[in-house]
Amino acid sequence: VDQPRKVYNPSSLALEGLLIEEQRTNVLLHNRDLSQSAWVKNDGPVITYDQTGLDGQASAAATVADNSTGLIAGVEQSVTIVADSATHVGMFIVGKNASPSAYPGISMQLSGGTKVEQQYTVNPANGAIVGRPSFNTGTATLIDETPDFWLFQITATNNNTNSVLKWRFFPAVNEAFSGTWDTVATGSNVIDYPQVELNTSFATSPIETGASQVTRSADDARVPIGGEFNAGEFSFVYEGTMPLSSNSGRIYEYGPSTSNRILIYRNGSNVTLLVVSGGSNVVVSSVAGPAGGDPIKVAVRIQENNVALSVNGGAPIIDTLVTIPETTVRTVGHTASGFSYGNIAAKNITEYARALSDAELQELSTL
């Protein structure tokens, strides 16, 4: 609590940045104890906590085994949802296995009305996924990996009729990687940190739960602007990840007034620089950015009637009709009032007390 959350490269262990995420709730209970009654065990799965977890904790990840031919064993947990048109996301953290004897299945189901069913086979050797025919009406993606785990998410959109969501894991759905599931397959696979986040299309970092749902508070990253700041002429470079939030997901902002601020944010697939002075908006430009969560470097020049934006080594976009506003606080990954979270990992932000040249901006924004 009240400590910076840092992200490290899973292979090199190099620091990737400060993790800045919005408030989120994991609605699954006992997500690291599948023996609890909150988890329904279908057709006799064997659960053993004998693997090191995603967080490095010994015996925190579960080996789930299907030892029965003729049945597809698995574990599931149900959550009550509103029968509306919202999108929900489930996270599945599956252990890597270079030589699997069986391939696991992951599933999210919305039921109670006109059912929405998603089922995918996972290849624990290489992180590949394939949909089960007639059961892949949503989206499943590999979102990350560590030396020992694959992190997948499934999104499902309700159709205004379903009132129950089920998160489901099956350790052995076939013995040859394909979308076809059979009851003959036996074997085991490893799972950790089951997670469901409602009313969103992307998963955030794992949230451990017990007997109750757990809400992780929003991260707060802000720094006051002091007398050392050259407000009339400066430049800055952001290095980190592209926001996961595609709708005004903040990267970096000088504020806090909505009438006087300078900000860069994700706008759909673009990165936008916006200067607001005296309530008047001047959009310097929007430049195509990478996919959400991918690395990005943004270099910005702030100077009266000479503002510029360069993204990932691209030629700077320049605006010559800009009045520079007065600002008092810097915020990273969200607005000063605590909204529009980008859900980013901010690796480095460098300020320069002068207006960088176009060539310098392009060089400094090159990955």
4-18 pLDDT per residue, tens: 888 777 667 677 889
**Does the structure show a pLDDT above 80 at 152?**
yes
Q: Is the pLDDT of residue 128 over 60?
A: yes
CB proximity list for 3: less than 8 A, separation 6 or greater? none
Using DSSP's 3-state secondary structure scheme, residue 358 falls into: helix
**pLDDT score of 1:** 57
Residue 358 zone, left/alpha/beta (φ > 0; ψ -120 to 50; rest): alpha
pLDDT in tens, 27-63: 999 999 999 999 999 999 999 999 999 999 999 999 9
Q: What is the pTM of this model?
A: 0.91
pLDDT score for 232: 85
Beta bridge partners of 155: 89, 139
Higher pLDDT, 314 or 227: 314
Provide the Cα torsion 130, 134, 136, 138; round to 10°.
Answer: 160
Phi and psi (nearest 5°) for 360?
Answer: -65, -40
pLDDT at position 319 is 92
Q: What is the chain's mean pLDDT, rounded?
A: 94
